Structure 1
Amino acid sequence: MSDNTIIRFEQVTKQYDQDPAVLDNVSFEIERGKFYTLLGPSGCGKTTILRLIAGFTEPSAGDIYLNGNIVNHVPANKRQVNTVFQDYALFPHLNVFENVAFGLRIKKLKNAEIKTKVQEALRFVNLSGYEEREINEMSGGQRQRVAIARAIVNEPEVILLDEPLSALDLKLRTEMQYELRELQRRLGITFIFVTHDQEEALAMSDEIFVINKGRIQQSGTPTDIYDEPINRFVADFIGESNIVEGKMIEDFKVEFANKQFECVDKGLHSNEPVEIVIRPEDLEITRPENGKLQVRVDSQLFRGVHYEICCYDQSGNEWLVHSTKKAEVNSEIGLDFEPEAIHVMRFGETEEEFDKRLEAYNG
């Protein structure tokens, strides 16, 4: 564990009664001052991780470390961690000032100190002058900022955010993504953000943990996870993907759709069955004779910045293309792509094995 590690999970399992484990032998480290996102579908275990960090529940097995100390049985009010809930959990009978000041009053700080700290917290979230405003007079975005001010006023080392943007409309949600990210940078506090929205995770995070069925499937930067997914779940969950079955012929050569192509992958066995990922935006429409693949257009939708084109090759593989070029339904077109656009996934490969192989062909 590095000196910069603030939270560490060591083989943590959480199980209720005889039900299947909500978290299954999970290990990871969180560093200070970064924006982390726990990403996955509903019921995957991401909110359980948040509750374990906050101290709202205890692990069934394994250890949780905060600043190098095991905190399995340390109550929530004894941890330097604050949570912003999905519904914000604000007190409707208290104004903005008193909502933010609530935790400070529990600590029995002097009124002058409370006033200074509350005003500073509201300044950080751009709500100066809103001290006397009633909660029911605030917009959704403003309520979220009040909840964040209430969290940061206690000067926690970690802020946990449990899908706090999910109730906002699309425009406000996008604005709050920028605000949250900028706020985290200004504060320098570790943020751990829970969402099932992959675009949100990619836009906001320093690092992402992709979770499914109680296990971390892959962790890394947004670029790493998008460009180098470890398995079909990650590739399919993070953005849109074309995933087809193929065979690794040899280093830097792969076969799919009954053709062989140059790629940048190595370190797999000759003739090993693999899965191939090519992102829709990496496919370029050409004349049929100029394409590496020849496909027939099945449908086309205009998405504003690009056309979304669905087509099929002669082997029956479906291909999704994002292009500024328009295609005609039922026409034959070619698809061109660079070797770097092909990502080869090994069946059953662990994240540790994947990282070792990635290091081998990157350096």
Structure 2
Amino acid sequence: MLFVTFLFSCVFFYFQCPASTAITLVNVTVDDQFGDPYTHSQILYTPTEAWSIAPDCDYCPDHSALSTNKAYNRTWHESYFSSSLDSGALRPGTSRYASFQFMGTAVYVICIVPPSTNITTQMNFFIDGDAVGSYPPMSATVDGWQYDVVVYRNTSLSTAGHQLLIQSGEEDGEDAIILLDSIIYTTHNTIDSSIDGVSHNNPALGPKRVPLAPVIGATVGGFVLILLCGVFCFLHQRRQKSLPVAVQTASPLWKRLLSPFNKHSRKTHMSLDTPALTRPVVPHSSSSSQNDRRIQSILAWQKNTQQGTRALDLAPPDMSEELSSYYEDATTTESRRVRTPPPPPRRYIITNK
């Protein structure tokens, strides 16, 4: 029964372990126009009137050579910055901003970059209020229109909420244009891959998976350890039940080994003890007191008699006559060489009855 309990516990623990999709890093693509397909957050553009949804931009420089099919969802947000009042740009001298809030560990900004001979693309990037980068790099040249260009990336963010701010154009700076196509961020959350926008157009931005080998190894190791413990307990219980009663109730080995010495010590102790004088046990009766007095009087009389006999000094018997007759007979009868010795003297003990 114990083994079955351990087995079911292990199976339950195994199935309760999180699946690999729960620890998969997923890239979410935020479209410039439709926003985040997962949280439905939108990119905020300021000043609003200075931004337009391409390719409908009347005041922007000529970009008739652009292919809308190469843009993500066939759209992008475009803004032209100029400090000159005669440039035709809206809100001249005012920087353009695009901001987005997200929860993740990495972020990528995707733009369409025009040729260097046409107009420059100048951007600054801020995360949580701190300046973290700029575009373009020094001495960068672009030939023709470039699509899906990662103008900024940051893969060392903490797992928390962040705010990304993109700035295009600086006061009294050169003319600049920005064509924002999308923003991609990486998150730990489990997202249904069937949602539009949870895709990875760039292999470099593909999903990053946490190594599962340590997790699987620890799970299997714990399962095997618990299984072995259950088997050991089951076999131990079975062995205890199969032992005979005599073996289970037998005295310990050290008692059996020392039993001969214990018996010998008891015998030696009994042989060295002197027996004590005991009085006969007399059954309790009405005449027990009279019998005791009678026995006491007899014992006292015997004691007095033995003491009187021991104290009486008796003279040795006169054996001169017998010895003389013995020697006389020996001389007269020489042929008789062996004679029986005389009988021992007789002693008489007087007892009172």
TM-score by length of 2: 0.19
| Greater helix fraction, Structure 1 or Structure 2 | 2
Kindly indicate whether structure 1 or structure 2 has the higher relative contact order, using CA contacts under 8 Å at least 6 residues apart.
Answer: 2
| Greater strand fraction, Structure 1 or Structure 2 | 1
